[in-house]
Structure 1
Amino acid sequence: MENLPRKVRSKKLSTKVDLTAMVSVSFLLIIFFMVTIELAKPNIMEQSFSNEGGCGGEPICYRPDENRILTVLLDDNNKIVTYMGLLYAPVQNPKEVEYGKDGIRKELLYIDKKVHEYSASMGKPKIGVTVIIKPSNKSNYGNLVSILDEMKITSISSYSVVDYFTPEESKLLASN
């Protein structure tokens, strides 16, 4: 017999696939989406307006103390209008202030000091000012960030951002 060339058969490799890296990535993705879903849920902070001393004949008063509330209205062109109390009967009349240390920061520190003095005279020295920040549709995101920075700088911890304007507040911004 002659020496015939044999057909060379290719060696069959195993078809085993290592899925270790895929399992690690999938667990990371699951953890990522669980965390982002949890952070996307809206957080609501209860704001207490109770007054232990009561209001007149009522044992507990849920009406806010207008001597402790400062409203900050943000409008376009870096305009800030502040007033204290209720707009129809303000403790401090509406006034326009500027951004920065000689503007809104000076105003916040002054109001906070006055509210602490007022609270101390009422027998509650630890209660400070509550600031309600109302950015208008015309204000920009940078203005809101600047006001939040001022809250941090002045150590005012009781504040909230509200997107509702009363008709009187809209008229006030339009007139200024």
Structure 2
Amino acid sequence: MENLPKKVRSKKLSTRVDLTAMVSVSFLLIIFFMVTIELAKPKAMELDFPDHGCCDCIPRYAEENRSVTILLDKNDKITYFIGLLENPVKKPEKIAYGKEGIHKELLKYNNAVLDYSKKHGIKNERGITVIIKPSKKSNYSNLVEILDEMKITGIKSYAIVDYYTPEEEKLLAIK
């Protein structure tokens, strides 16, 4: 017979795929997304707002001694007074932020109210109530600083109010 050419068989290649590189890349992607998700979470401060069912209540006369109003204004200025502005226990005073400023006054007055409560056998020892009123000209960091002071001084009863009385606006207008 004639010389028939031999059948050439093709070499069989391995069907196995090496996934080592793919596993490394997938772990890197998982770590990347876990880190970016954690960094993208908004950081918020916890606020406790009591629900009294009444927002526009006029403070009772006995409670006026416990209320401190802090007015935040532009250029990092703070004005505070104790009681009602019409008849304050302590007249409005400009004060600075920090340990020797508003921090010192809040601690001093809160401790005085707590001592008075203990001395007279008042069981509700909640200290002072602070009303924080940021003006439209104040910046966000001023509000955060005052909220930090509430946490540091241990004052548990405070509220953020977004309106000013006409008397308070006149007070802020005085330079």
Normalising to structure 1: TM-score of the pair?
A: 0.65
Q: Secondary structure at the match of 1:127?
A: coil
Using CA pairs below 8 Å that are at least 6 residues apart, which structure has the higher relative contact order? 2
Q: What's 2:100 paired with? A: 102
Q: What's 1:139 paired with? A: 138
Letter of the aligned partner of 2:84 in structure 1?
Answer: L
Segment drifting more, 151-160 vs 110-119 = 110-119
Q: Secondary structure at the match of 1:96?
A: strand
Normalising to structure 2: TM-score of the pair?
A: 0.65
Q: Flag the 1:68–1:47 CA change in 2: closer, same or farther, 3 A.
A: farther
Q: What's 1:113 paired with? A: 111
Question: Aligned-pair distance for 1:160?
Answer: 0.7
Q: What's 1:161 paired with? A: 160
Provide, for residues 43-62 of structure 1, a one-character-per-residue CA deviation record: whole Å limited to 9, x for no partner: 983355xxxxxxxxxxxxx8
Letter of the aligned partner of 1:150 in structure 2?
Answer: E
Q: Flag the 1:46–1:150 CA change in 2: closer, same or farther, 3 A.
A: closer
Cα separation, 2, equivalents of 1:114 and 1:169? 26
Question: Aligned-pair distance for 1:172?
Answer: 0.3
Q: Flag the 1:167–1:113 CA change in 2: closer, same or farther, 3 A.
A: same
Question: Aligned-pair distance for 1:117?
Answer: 2.5
Provide, for residues 115-164 of structure 1, a one-character-per-residue CA deviation record: whole Å limited to 9, x for no partner: 11333344325120000000000000010000001111101111011001
Q: Which runs of 4+ in 1 moved over 4 A?
A: none
> Identity of aligned pairs, percent?
55
Cα separation, 2, equivalents of 1:90 and 1:47? 26
Unaligned runs of 5+ in 2: 1-46, 53-57
Q: What's 2:75 paired with? A: 77
Pairs aligned (count): 151
Q: What's 1:46 paired with? A: 50
Letter of the aligned partner of 2:169 in structure 1?
Answer: S
Cα separation, 2, equivalents of 1:162 and 1:135? 7
Provide, for residues 91-138 of structure 1, a one-character-per-residue CA deviation record: whole Å limited to 9, x for no partner: 011001101101010011011012113333443251200000000000
Q: How much is the aligned-residue C-alpha RMSD, in angstroms? A: 3.9
